[in-house]
Amino acid sequence: MCRTLPRVKLRAYWTLLKDLQTSLLVVTGLAGYISGRPAVSWSSILTLLGSLFLSVGGSTVLNMVIDRDIDAQMGRTSGRPLPSGTVSAGEGLALGLTMSLLGALWAGQINLLYGAVIAAGIFFDVVVYTLWLKRRSPWSILWGGIAGGMPILAGRALATGQIDFTGLLLALAVLLWIPTHIMTFSIKYADDYRAAAVPVFPNCYGVWATRLIIALSTVGATVVMLWAVYRIGLNPGLLWAARGLGGLLSTFTLITLLHPTPRLNFILYKLASLYMLGSMVVLIVGA
């Protein structure tokens, strides 16, 4: 029993990081960095990945601590480490603060501009989105999207030494992608959000309006991502790959708008993540 306790704790801590979400955002940061075509070395990549992982993971843990009462009221999240009691609020707070501070300080030591963008991302995610707006307005997703776009902007800024137009386009593409990823999820679990008194678009404006916003945002994300890719100057084959990924996601989004079903909605939720991952791979390989 005593031997298995640390393993249980470590598994619970890892769950608090939302490993898939955190990993995807870290990959966007790497793609932003590589897109700037710096003199890449393994040491530079490892310091980027380490500082991003600590920063993004830490802010995610802090969000979980703040939202533990909401999670306890929702069936799909009530078994998470904090509401279930596997990890105490104090433990979660200590973990989240330690990771966030170490990540931001490490990023600042690497480069001041890079560190400032990372710190801004933590602030938008934890303070503006989670603490201030999430329980007040469905439009909090906009600020969550801004936070989600910060890793790729930070990576690009580290490579180029400035916040350039291409970096802003990449961040905007992530921001516009967020509704496809999150709003499809909120449609599926609208009853859970209603029970927890968290305002989300399906409950505030209706499912049809939410699907329309998802469709418009998805098209916007693919167009902006292609614009950024053109500016970076990838080879023709990878440009076609980027077009194909955007076309696939946009087409499937239109299908779910015209013929909505729970199954198609769930596929769109998964496809949105695969689109973003695929786009980042295109950027990394191409640059």
Tens-place pLDDT, residues 47-101 = 999 999 999 999 999 999 999 999 999 988 999 999 999 999 999 999 999 999 9
211 located within any domain: yes
| Nearest partner of 81 among 97, 102, 60, 101, judged by Cα | 60
Would you call 118 helix, strand, or coil by DSSP? helix
pLDDT at 75: 87
> What DSSP element (H or E) covers 182?
helix 165-188
pLDDT at 111: 97
pLDDT at 107: 98
2 located within any domain: no
Instruction: Give dist(CA 112, CA 106) in Å, integer.
Output: 10
Range of the domain at 68: 8-286
77 located within any domain: yes
pLDDT at 125: 97
| Nearest partner of 134 among 40, 213, 69, judged by Cα | 69
1 located within any domain: no
Mean pLDDT of all residues belonging to the chain? 93
261 located within any domain: yes
Cβ neighbours of residue 156 closer than 8 Å, sequence gap 6 or more: 32, 33, 35, 36, 163, 164, 166, 167, 170
> What DSSP element (H or E) covers 267?
helix 262-286
CATH number of domain containing 266: 1.10.357.140
Burial label, 150 (beta-carbon count in 10 A; 0-12, 13-18, 19+): buried
The residue among 260 and 4 whose pLDDT is bigger is: 260
Residue 1 pLDDT exceeds 50: no
The answer to whether 186 and 201 have CB atoms below 8 angstroms apart is: yes
176 located within any domain: yes
111 located within any domain: yes
User: Could you give the number of structural domains in the chain?
Assistant: 1
